[in-house]
A and B are shown apart, each in its own frame.
Chain A
Amino acid sequence: MIGIVVKKELKEIFRTSRIAWLFAGLLVLIALSVYNGYTYYTSHSSLLKESQEVTYKQFISQGNKNPHLGAHFGFYAYKPTADLAMIDNGIEDYTGSSFYLEPHKRGIIKFREVTDATSLKSFGFLNIGYLIQFIFPLFIFLICHNIFSKEWENGTIKLLLGSKVGRRDIYMGKLLACLCVVSMLIGIILFLSSTVLIATSANLEKVMGSYLIYLSGLCLFSVILTSIAVSVSLLTRSSTLSLVILAGFWLMGVFLLPRLAGEISKHVYPAITSVKFDHVTFNEMQYGVGDEGTKDYRREKLLERTLAEYHVDSIQQLPVYFIPITIEFFEESDGKVMDRAYSAVDQNQARQNGLVRSVAMLSPFLAFRDFSMHVTATDMETHNDFSEKAEQHRRKIGVIVDEYYQKHVEATNEFWKTVPQFQYEPPGLTHRLVAAGPAMLIMLGWTLAAIALMIFSYRKMTV
């Protein structure tokens, strides 16, 4: 019986010209999204890969220089483009991907693409992720909003309920028909994105796990939205009201709530200004924290300790150069100040982000967006991980150069080559899944809510 209802519904859905238009429009959008994601991935990944090689080559071929001067020439650590960035590039364009590895200064990630973009960027970036998170839900609602209400509006509900088909079969039939249409669209997305992924990804085996998890999330997300749309259609018994409610839900969930939550989080956890940050860190480095004493005082103490260590009376008698020792010393103590300051910034941002993410309890769209960014490794956590690894590498280079500088005043290319290249591997799938845990839990919560709504609406299926 369910089969009959599904057949009837599919016939009705595909008979209306507006569905054909919707499908055609969505197909064009899917193709464009895949193309856009593909060009984004290929251009970015090759640029970053090549630039990493070039910047390192420039460093190791800089010729004879004072080691410290050469270290200041430094090189860049570039965050490689995530393998699944062609599906969803998450916050990549907003974080930047370049980290300058030079002495004294903890690097900050620079060259955020969004700062060199036009105002069109604020309308989003069309790729599969964007399409699924922003446009696809509205299409689901447009397709399903009248699946039940039309029966009341056309006066056919009595006929339907009076037929041999049971209430449960009618409900399931209509739901399955909607899911069939939605699955078709997912199938097209799956086919196109898989083709491009296979064609471009060298690490297909590595990517496949994340990709399959992403697809599972997408299926669950689509089922949740379809169930909600079907239930609302049944509860309102009016296509217009159902459409207004669903469109409102979409607008609230996709745009309004996240943005509003973002603004609230900025007020609840205000960020430190760059001016204040610089002022505080400068004072802490210059005048010390607690009873550390000023930089001059600490330098004198360091000299005393070094002279004692080498059992000599003056700086000229030292068997090593003193400047690199001070550089190394302050690299460490200034590093602690900067670590503390950046950690406070990171913690504040984590609190802000946590508040926004908690709003996903009111918006399945936000929960899926969060899940998607974590699984594709285009999230804030991966970015912070990169930043941390790059900083570790910067300090490692500092130690290598300063140790060399203690005994040599000139470094050649032979020495520069001993400084290791930066290589970054994003956190593994397990780590990403742990990060996506809250989003997955919220999505499960939405699944339960959708089931509850279905049961509630099913009970209202009477004339």
Chain B
Amino acid sequence: MNRLMLQTIVKHEIKLLVRNKVLVYLFSIIFFMLLSALWIGSSMYKKQLSTIRQIKAYDKEITDSLRERITRIEKEDMIYPGFIWDDPTFAYNTARNEGPQFAVKQPFSLQALTVGQSDLQPFYYKVNITRKQYLTYDGEIGNSFLQFIGNFDFAFVVVYLFPLLIIVFTYNVLSSEKEQGTWVLLKTSNQSLGRLITARIAIRYLLFIMFFWMIVTPVLVLLVGVDFFFTTNWWWTVICVSLYFSFWFALSMFINSFSFSSTLNAMTLIFIWLFTGIIVPNLLQIGLNKIYPIPSRISMVTEERNALNQYFEKDGQTLTKEVFNNPRTMIRQASIVTPGMVYGYGVIVYKSQEIKDAAAAVAERKLYGQIERQQNAIQRLQLLSPALLLQEQLSAFAGTHWRQFNKFSIDVDTFRRETQRFYFPKMAEESTFRSFTLKDVDAIPRFNPKVYADYGWTDIPALVLTYIGVTVVLLLTAYKRLLAIVK
């Protein structure tokens, strides 16, 4: 096929596409959807940034107030005029009131493309020495109904809507020629019809891809800035999305090569879309839940409470008696809260927490172990569904994958232990009960917020090669079949 011929086909294709009003309208609507999705994603990203700013301001306000109050108490010979449970010189009080620090997962700008798990998993925790962060802080105040409905983000538009647009774009490349009676004319041409059809599909693909990225890239830069552009996450996103589209073009050409009617082509392609995009992930879900059932967090709580009850049968009972019956604590009076009482509660709380944490650790390992196993299985089986594969990759590149949130959660847990190590010895300081000083305010452990956008667990080059392999096989098979049809 010479250059002139190629140019003619390109011109012809563009004319054909532009003149197809239904296609133009559909294209416009879906691109409008794409722009909306980008805007929605960037708004969520910006909202998280704004929440983080609120957290910082709140944190500063609280720390300043704590510092000021302790300074005042220390200046006035340790006299605190307010309620004893609010006196910050008791380590237990500060640990409960002003002490808990925020642990923040800094959002990555590509999050504007894929919401992933970020609407379900918390991107910040208020880390408490007692309750484990996952048990108390269940993320933002979210609307369960809206979460159930799902997000309208770039990933949704690309994974679900664009394959359908591609189907509409290509389902009748060959069949329309037959149905309109131009097939016989084409057969008299001295050009290879196999090549001609392939060239037409390839031109449509290139036009599609160019148009797509020419819209997405500048809009994204406008919405979230240019930083993402220099990350490998972005370029892998471009490659994977482009390959996903190429897969659907190749599949369409493959179905076209069977020389069915336009209706049957469309039906087959829609069915494949439905099967790979919805049914296969659902079947995988059923299978994986059967093989690796994820235990409920309820069991974890039950374990904790059992351990606590066992502890209070003997050791805990002794401790409570020691603390509560001690003349210095005078807790039994139950009319005036004494310094000893505040101290006593603190001791019981941290002893109980140690017991609870140890008991929960076993159940926790089981829970996260099963989720991890499911994730590993998904990684192995994701090739069964291009939609699932792309969704997994997009969320990994955007920093919204379960593994990234899990890593954040593990870091928060480590931070919580660090916080416990800071407060527990001070809470157990019996000599004065009031062991928290101005110096300690600056020593309160703080979480170092960072971006979690590493995707090291996934072998991207291998996946990309597999994608290319599948697409090439589909194209070659379709090409061979087209040659045979012409004969």
Partners in one complex: yes
Which of the listed residues B58, B121, B282, B284 has the most CB atoms from chain A within 10 Å of its own CB? B282
What CA separation (Å) do A256 and B142 show in the bound complex?
Answer: 20
Q: Which residues of B contact A120 (CB under 8 A)?
A: 281-282, 284-285, 288, 374, 378, 388
Given contacts A54-B302, A405-B334, contact A142 B267 (CB under 8 A): yes
Among B43, B271, B332, contact of A267 (Cβ-Cβ < 8 Å)? B43
Which one of B181-189, B312-320, B416-424, B429-437 is at the A interface? Answer: B312-320
Chain B residues with Cβ under 8 A from A76's Cβ? 298, 301
- Complex interface bits, B69-91 against A, C-beta within 8 A gives 1, otherwise 0: 00000000000011100100000
State the Cβ distance, B254 to closest chain A Cβ, in Å: 18
Interface string of B171-183 (1 = CB under 8 A from A): 1100000000000
Q: Is the CB of B144 within 8 A of A262?
A: no
Q: Beyond A259-B149, A263-B152, A279-B58, is A142–B271 a contact (Cβ under 8 Å)?
A: yes
| Contact B143–A259 (Cβ < 8 Å) | no
B286:A32 contact, CB within 8 angstroms? yes
Q: Which of A320-328, A426-434, A452-460 contacts B (4 or more CB under 8 A)?
A: A320-328
* Interface check B294, CB cutoff 8 A: yes
**A409 touching B332, Cβ below 8 Å:** yes
Q: Does B5 contact A (CB under 8 A)?
A: no
CB distance from B146 to the nearest CB of A (A): 5
Determine the chain B residues whose CB is within 8 A of the CB of A125 once the complex forms.
Answer: 282, 285
B143's contact among A96, A111, A271, by CB below 8 Å, is which? A271
The answer to whether B143 touches A115, judged by C-beta atoms less than 8 angstroms apart, is no
A112 and B145 within 8 A (CB): no
Q: CB distance A126 to B282 under 8 Å? A: yes
Q: Is A221 an interface residue, CB under 8 A from the partner?
A: no
Q: Which of B299, B309, B391 contacts A119 (CB 8 A)?
A: B391
Q: Are B263 and A240 in contact (CB under 8 A)?
A: yes
Is A244 engaged at the interface, CB distance under 8 Å to the other chain?
yes
Q: Which listed segment binds B: A55-63, A157-165, A182-190, A417-425?
A: A55-63
Interface members, chain B 115-149 (any A CB < 8 Å): 116-117, 120-121, 124, 126, 135-149
The answer for the CA separation of A318 and B335 in the assembled complex, in Å, is 9
Determine whether the beta carbon of A124 is less than 8 Å from that of B348: no
| Inter-subunit contact A274/B140 (CB<8 Å) | yes
Residues of A within 8 A of B298 (CB): 47-48, 51, 76, 78, 98, 111
Q: What residues of B have a CB within 8 angstroms of the CB of A98 in the complex?
A: 297-298, 301
> In the complex, which residues of chain A have a beta carbon less than 8 angstroms from the beta carbon of B142?
271
Among A173-181, A200-208, A349-357, A440-448, the stretch in contact with B: A349-357
| Chain B CB within 8 A of A110 CB | yes
**How far is A91 from B143 in the complex, measured between Cα atoms in Å?**
11
CB of A356 within 8 A of CB of B285, answer: no
A239 contacts chain B at the CB level, 8 A cutoff: yes
Docked-complex contact A356 and B149, CB < 8 angstroms: yes
Q: Which of B22, B43, B168, B312 contacts A63 (CB 8 A)?
A: B312
Contact B140–A271 (Cβ < 8 Å):
yes
Minimum C-beta distance from A255 to chain B (A): 6
A243→B24 CA distance, assembly (Å): 18
Question: Are B278 and A135 in contact (CB-based, < 8 A)?
Answer: yes
- What interface size band does chain B fall in? 35 or more
Q: Hey, what's the 0/1 contact readout for B21-64 against A, CB within 8 Å counting as 1? A: 01000100000010010001001000000010011001000000
Q: Known contacts A62-B309, A271-B143, A299-B83: does B336 contact A119 (CB below 8 Å)?
A: no
Dominant SS among interface residues on chain B: helix
Which residues of chain A come closer than 8 Å to B270, judged between CB atoms? 138, 142, 243, 247
When C-beta atoms are compared, the residue in chain A nearest to B281 turns out to be A123
B141 is contacted by which of A61, A62, A277 (Cβ under 8 Å)?
A277
A380 within 8 A of B: yes
B57 smallest CB distance to A (angstroms): 9
Complexed CA–CA distance, A90 and B147 (Å)? 12
**Interface-facing stretch out of A6-14, A64-72, A191-199, A391-399:** A64-72
- Looking at B294, B296, B333, B395, the one whose CB has the most chain A CB atoms below 10 A away is B296
Distance of A258 Cα from B149 Cα, bound (Å): 7
Q: How far is the CB of B132 from chain A (nearest CB, A)?
A: 12
Q: Once the chains are docked, how many angstroms separate the CA of A394 from the CA of B284?
A: 40
Interfacial chain A residues near B168, Cβ < 8 Å: 244
Q: Which of A108-128 contact B (CB under 8 A)?
A: 108, 110-126
Q: For B312, give its contact among A62, A265, A299 (CB under 8 Å).
A: A62
Closest Cβ of chain A to B474, distance in Å, is 21
A125 to B148 alpha-carbon distance, docked (Å): 11
Instruction: Give bound CA distance, A173 to B264, whole Å.
Output: 24
Closest partner residue, chain A, to B171 (CB atom): A240
Q: Is A358 an interface residue (CB 8 A)?
A: no
A residues near B22, Cβ cutoff 8 Å: 241, 244
In the complex, the chain B residue whose C-beta lies closest to that of A272 is: B141
B335 touches A114 (CB 8 A): no
B138–A119 CB distance below 8 A: no
Answer whether A118 and B375 are a contact pair too, CB < 8 Å, given A274-B140, A405-B334: yes
Which of B144, B324, B378 is close to A380, meaning CB atoms less than 8 Å apart? Answer: B144
Docked pose: A73 CA to B296 CA in angstroms: 20
Q: In the complex, which of the residues A90, A112, A118, A126 contacts B378, with contact meaning CB atoms closer than 8 Å? A: A118
- C-alpha spacing A14/B134, complex, angstroms: 54
Contacts of A29 in B (CB 8 A): 279
CA–CA, A134 to B277, complex, Å?
Answer: 12
C-alpha spacing A91/B146, complex, angstroms: 10
Are A146 and B263 in contact (CB-based, < 8 A)? yes
Per the bound structure, the CA–CA distance linking A58 and B281 in Å amounts to: 40
Let me know if A345 and B141 touch, CB within 8 A: yes
Which residues of B are found within 8 Å of A18, using beta-carbon distances? 264, 267
Partner-contacting stretch, out of B156-164, B202-210, B443-451, B475-483: B156-164
Contact B348 A69 (CB under 8 A): yes
Binary CB contact string for chain B from 244 to 268 against chain A (1 if under 8 A, 0 otherwise) = 0000000000000000001110110
Docked complex Cα distance between A241 and B172 (Å): 12
Q: Is there a chain B Cβ closer than 8 Å to A273's Cβ?
A: yes
CA distance A91 to B148 in the complex (A): 6
User: Which A residues lie within 8 Å of B126 (CB)?
Assistant: 278
A384 vs B72: C-alpha distance in the bound complex, in angstroms? 45
Contact A123/B278 with A18-B264, A64-B317, A275-B51 known, Cβ cut-off 8 Å = yes
B263 lies within 8 A of A113 (CB): no
Given A51-B298, A58-B306, A316-B335 in contact, is the A119-B135 Cβ separation under 8 Å? no
A116 touches B263 (CB 8 A): no
- Would you call B144 and A383 a contact (CB within 8 A)? yes
A93: nearest residue on chain B (CB-CB)?
Answer: B148
Question: When the two chains form the complex, which single residue of B83, B312, B336, B395 contacts A295, counting CB atoms closer than 8 Å?
Answer: B83
Q: 1/0 contact trace for A248-287 toward B, CB 8 Å?
A: 1001000110111011011100011111111100000000
- 15 interchain pairs, CB-CB under 8 A: A58-B306, A98-B301, A112-B144, A115-B139, A116-B294, A116-B297, A119-B388, A123-B282, A247-B266, A255-B160, A262-B151, A271-B142, A273-B54, A274-B137, A383-B144
Seed contacts A94-B144, A110-B297; 6 additional CB < 8 Å A-B pairs: A119-B392, A247-B270, A275-B55, A324-B334, A356-B149, A409-B331
Closest 5 CB pairs of A and B: A123-B281, A321-B334, A259-B152, A239-B263, A126-B282
